Chain A
Amino acid sequence: MSPETVQSWIDQQVKTNNVVLFMKGTKEMPQCGFSGRVTQILNYLGIDFKDINVLEDMSVREGIKAYTNWPTIPQLYVKGEFVGGADIISEMFQSGELEQHLAEKGVEVSKAVA
């Protein structure tokens, strides 16, 4: 995709899905430790999310970094808002802030462990 179309494509993905993870690989087969860690956290919390494999399209891989002025992958979006990369999501998960943030945004969390 051209730089312009990729920005509007990303914007559309982020705005039409509750939870979107731009990652390396897929949720079934993450291909990077950091992407894998965020996928694990989302699966543990039982969150339905759209995975976008940036390795499939270099313009998306570069475009997403410009979209939020954030230089690394993975990137998690909830209700159109950038929440963070692997470090921030891990920190938020450990402190319980991630569940709180999701609840505030009206995203359903069905923890695997009751």
Chain B
Amino acid sequence: MPMSAKEIEDLIRARLPDAEITIKDLAGDGDHYAAQVISESFRGKSRVQQHQIIYDALRGNMGGALHALALQTGAPD
């Protein structure tokens, strides 16, 4: 069951209330998205750790309902 951009944004925002989230639908099939997430809680964390926070926020949908999510993460400049 594909996910909508809004569902992804809501799940990420629930975990990172301060985040600036931009989601692009890459293929229009609810399965391939690109997301840019900027949040203070990423400061000082490695890219792997930042992406793991997003994957945890998506509660197991990643790799299942959501096949591809190209992630760009970072702390505000």
Contacts and interface: CB of A to CB of B under 8 A. Distances in A.
Contacts of B13: none
Nearest to B64: A71
A69 B52 contact: yes
A91 B52 CA distance: 16
- Contact-residue size bin, chain A (C-beta under 8 Å from the other chain): 10 to 19
- Contact-residue size bin, chain B (C-beta under 8 Å from the other chain): 10 to 19
Interface of chain B, helix or strand or loop or mixed? mixed
Contact of A71 (B48, B55, B70, B72): B55
A34 B51 CA distance: 16
B63 A34 contact: no
B72 A87 contact: yes
A34 B68 contact: yes
30 contacts: A34-B68, A65-B63, A69-B52, A69-B55, A70-B48, A70-B51, A70-B52, A70-B55, A71-B55, A71-B60, A71-B62, A71-B63, A72-B62, A72-B63, A72-B68, A82-B48, A83-B48, A84-B48, A84-B51, A85-B51, A86-B70, A87-B51, A87-B70, A87-B71, A87-B72, A88-B47, A88-B48, A88-B51, A91-B47, A92-B47
